[in-house]
């Protein structure tokens, strides 16, 4: 018979860890609308699958009264389990323990679970709810952050990494979420900023609140730092589960094959996309028509709305979509849209997710502000991302495809594997109106009836260039297709490309124009 004292000691230690910062602090956490660290992971993972790791870790620091503040687990819960049957590893900071502050032991726990995720080639989810570095531990705390940043960077492109902000995340700690593939935020309880309101007030005299500085609305609508926001913890965690359902476990996981037999016909394109190029429409309706019913998950829906990115399923297989949005800025590409698209393209390429590009673009957005904001540099990121990507890449030119923006939207010259076009597609250096002002300037100036001369030049330009057949004749469009053929042709192309093998030139890495 084992010594009962030993058994009871283990039970006591486990109970102390499970209690977190104590009943009063747990109650305060609940009163603020937040779940506890352990509750979040229990909710995130499939019921009964979460297994905790390193429950008995504690800080070895005794300075500044830390000997009386120690709590087993050191303010973070780490472990693994299943999400939709898929193995996932996670950490969840416990705000009830010292405000979730990060010290040496907490950092070691997080690094350990990240290493386990990498070794098992499984996604990693980091739930952030922390006041920042533990001041009592000095440089050991800073070194802890460095170890986390290092792993995020090293594991990038090997396993999906998701940050979930459900409380404060300030100062240098922000760079851990920033290094992840996707960032989720809760709308009422999360904040993320480098410099807090007090410092800003002292330095600039400006008075701002934490929400104005780094709330979910700021980062999903203005900065573009975050990808998703939800009203509360549970809905946010449901969103994480939904995203993980689209993602492979690692860069070598091809996921489910395309099931061509499950593809239904899509016949509504002509009612969605007007052939009058001056009329706007919502490209998300096109995406929903192409996708398996109810499977479209838009990413960064509230930022840079002139381009739409997200995941769909086609024949049960995950596909990444990049699409111009004619409802906003006529679908033009600006510097933010280029950044948004480029990072998403590169994520898809990292994890072997085929990319579908839907093209209806008049131009890179002109203007002084765009030039001052570095549209040349930002636009180059998009060109680079498409050119570098070796996954299957299929494009559909729906309507306008003009100038440099046409090139940027996965044109044949950037390595598109298959390019389709609808009969209403217009592929040219620019629109006919603008072209007439340049190529017919002299003729219009000399004509007695200038309007008639201009109309004649426009008609000639449209006949020669404003259709998909010139591009098809040159091989820049592989096939002009009817709307009702769209879905089957796209899926068939992806099935054909499923065994695609393409490698980049031997090099350490390229120099992305950051």
Catalytic residues: 171-172, 404-405
User: Nearest Cα to 225, choosing from 185, 258, 266?
Assistant: 185
Q: Where are the beta strands (DSSP E) in 350-410?
A: 355-361, 393-402
Are the beta carbons of 210 and 314 closer than 8 angstroms? no
- What is the rounded distance in angstroms from the CA atom of residue 129 to the CA atom of residue 38? 12
- What is the rounded distance in angstroms from the CA atom of residue 354 to the CA atom of residue 367? 34
- What is the rounded distance in angstroms from the CA atom of residue 299 to the CA atom of residue 318? 14
DSSP characters over 355-368: EEEEEEE--BPPSH
Strand 297-299 and strand 307-314: the pairing is antiparallel
> Residue 300 to residues 115, 339, 371, 404, 467: CA-CA distances in angstroms?
29, 12, 24, 24, 33
Strand partners, 361: 401
Q: Indicate if the alpha-carbon torsion angle 141, 147, 152, 158 is positive or negative.
A: negative
End-to-end CA distance of the chain: 65
CA angle in degrees (0–180, nearest 5) for 144-96-244: 65
Q: Which residues contact 191 (CB under 8 A, 6 or more apart)?
A: 165, 167, 168, 169, 170, 210, 211, 213, 214, 215
DSSP characters over 34-101: ---HHHHHHHHSSTT--EEE-TT------GGGGGGT--TTTTEEEEEEEETTEEEEEEEE-TTTGGG-
- What is the rounded distance in angstroms from the CA atom of residue 397 to the CA atom of residue 425? 6
What contacts 24+ positions apart, CB below 8 Å, involve 214-218? 214/170, 215/185, 215/187, 215/190, 215/191, 216/165, 216/185, 216/186, 216/187, 216/190, 217/187
Residue 399 has phi, psi (to 5 degrees) of -150, -95
- What is the rounded distance in angstroms from the CA atom of residue 167 to the CA atom of residue 129? 4
Alpha carbon dihedral 106, 108, 113, 117, in 10-degree steps, equals 140
- What is the rounded distance in angstroms from the CA atom of residue 319 to the CA atom of residue 311? 6
Half-sphere exposure of 397 toward its Cβ, with a 13 Å CA cutoff? 35
- What is the rounded distance in angstroms from the CA atom of residue 36 to the CA atom of residue 233? 10
């Amino acid at each position: 018979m084992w010594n009962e004292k030993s058994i009871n000691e283990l039970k006591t230690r486990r109970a102390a860890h499970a209690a977190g910062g104590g009943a009063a602090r747990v109650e305060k956490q609940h009163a603020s609308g937040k779940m506890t660290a352990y509750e979040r992971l229990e909710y995130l993972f499939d019921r009964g699958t979460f297994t905790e790791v390193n429950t008995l870790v504690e800080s070895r620091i005794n300075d500044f009264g830390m000997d009386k503040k120690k709590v087993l687990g050191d303010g973070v819960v780490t472990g693994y389990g299943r999400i939709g049957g898929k193995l996932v590893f996670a950490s969840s900071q416990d705000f009830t323990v010292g405000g979730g502050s990060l010290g040496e032991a907490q950092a070691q726990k997080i690094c350990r679970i990240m290493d386990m995720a990498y070794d098992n080639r499984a996604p990693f989810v980091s739930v952030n709810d922390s006041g920042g570095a533990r001041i009592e531990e000095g440089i050991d705390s800073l070194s802890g952050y460095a170890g986390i940043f290092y792993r995020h960077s090293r594991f990038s492109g090997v396993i999906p990494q998701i940050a979930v902000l459900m409380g404060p995340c300030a100062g240098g700690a922000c760079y851990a979420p920033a290094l992840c593939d996707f960032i989720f935020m809760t709308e009422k309880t999360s904040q993320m900023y480098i410099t807090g309101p007090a410092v800003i007030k002292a330095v600039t005299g400006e008075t701002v609140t934490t929400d104005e500085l780094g709330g979910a609305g700021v980062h999903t609508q203005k900065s573009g730092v975050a990808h998703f926001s939800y009203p509360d913890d549970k809905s946010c965690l449901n969103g994480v589960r939904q995203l993980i359902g689209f993602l492979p476990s690692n860069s070598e996981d091809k996921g489910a094959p395309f099931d061509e037999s499950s593809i239904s016909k899509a016949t509504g394109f002509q009612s969605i996309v007007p052939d009058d190029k001056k009329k706007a429409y919502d490209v998300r309706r096109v995406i929903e028509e192409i996708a398996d019913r109810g499977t479209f998950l838009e990413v960064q829906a509230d930022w840079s709305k002139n381009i739409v990115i997200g995941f769909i399923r086609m024949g049960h297989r995950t596909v990444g979509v990049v699409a111009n949005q004619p409802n906003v800025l006529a679908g033009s590409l600006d510097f933010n849209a280029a950044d948004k698209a480029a990072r998403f393209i590169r994520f898809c390429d990292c994890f072997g997710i085929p990319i579908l590009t839907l093209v209806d673009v008049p131009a890179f957005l002109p203007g002084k502000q765009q030039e001052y904001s570095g549209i040349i540099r930002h636009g180059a990121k998009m060109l680079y991302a498409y050119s570098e990507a070796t996954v299957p890449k299929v494009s559909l030119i729906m309507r306008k495809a003009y100038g440099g923006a046409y090139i940027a939207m996965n044109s044949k010259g950037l390595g598109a594997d298959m390019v389709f076009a609808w009969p209403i597609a217009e592929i040219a250096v620019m629109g006919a109106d603008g072209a007439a002002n340049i190529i017919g300037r002299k003729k219009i100036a000399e004509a007695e009836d200038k309007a008639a001369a201009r109309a004649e030049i426009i008609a000639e330009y449209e006949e020669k260039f404003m259709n998909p057949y010139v591009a098809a004749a040159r091989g820049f469009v592989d096939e002009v297709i009817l709307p009702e053929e769209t879905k089957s042709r796209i899926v068939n192309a992806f099935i054909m490309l499923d065994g695609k093998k393409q490698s980049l030139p031997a090099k350490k890495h390229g120099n992305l124009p950051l």
